[in-house]
Amino acid sequence: MQVDKIEMGTVIDHIRAGKAAKVMKILEIGENYPHRVAILINVPSKMMKTKDIVKIEGKVVSEEHANIIALVSPGASINIIRNSAIEKKFTVALPKEVSGLGRCANPNCITAEGAKTKFRMEGDGRYRCHFCERRSGAEELV
């Protein structure tokens, strides 16, 4: 399967198989995104057996934003592309705090009414909602 190189944008590799759609959601790339996006699902991988890859043209993802991807796919690697070359490469790490993204698993949380979400990671790696105090696993937030 051949996908064109991009001149400027982000390539997200080593995404857990089946999680590409959630990565797109985290990056808020939907049907109105104006540039090319390639989504590869269940790509054979020596390390992971199968993985997903997302190539996004025209969007450079910040490290802070990229780290949210770790909620659904720890170990995903981010390649920032400029002038058709890799400018920066890093592996996502679970963020200590998630703010303004994700949703609380508690349907009765005040954030379900539209308040901006905020979660903090606790010692055991689970996240606590700043508002309703409900604890959730990382993947439950997205």
Partner 1 sequence: MDVISIRDMEKKDIEEILDSAEAYAAGKKKSPLSGKVLATLFFEASTRTKLSFQSAALRSGMEYIDFLPETSSLKKGESFEDTVKTVEGYADALVIRHPKEGSARLAADILGKPVINGGDGGNQHPTQTLIDLYSIRKSKGRIKGLNVTLFGDLKHARTMRSLAYALGMFEAKVTLVSPVGLEMDPLYVKELEDRFSLQVHVKTEPEFSEADVLYVCRIQQERFADPMEAKRVTERFRIKKDDLKGAKDDLVILHPLPKINEIEGAIDGMKQARYFEQAHNGVPVRQAVLEYALHK
d(CA 18, CA 53): 10
Residue 88 CB, nearest approach to partner 1 (Å): 34
| Binding flag, residue 105, partner 1 (CB under 8 A) | no
Q: Which is nearer to partner 1, 54 or 104 (CB)?
A: 104
Residue 136 CB, nearest approach to partner 1 (Å): 11
Identify the CA nearest to 96 among candidates 125, 134, 74, 133.
125
Stretch that binds partner 1, among 6-14, 33-41, 92-100, 108-116 (CB under 8 A): 108-116
Stretch that binds partner 1, among 49-57, 63-71, 75-83, 129-137 (CB under 8 A): 129-137
Residue 108 CB, nearest approach to partner 1 (Å): 5
| Binding flag, residue 59, partner 1 (CB under 8 A) | no
Of these, 23, 68, 76, 109, which contacts partner 1 (CB under 8 A)? 109
Cβ neighbour number for residue 62 with a 10 Å cutoff: 10
d(CA 52, CA 101): 22
Q: Which residues of 77-95 are buried (b: 16+ CB within 10 A; e: fewer)?
A: bbbbbeeeeeeeeeebeeb
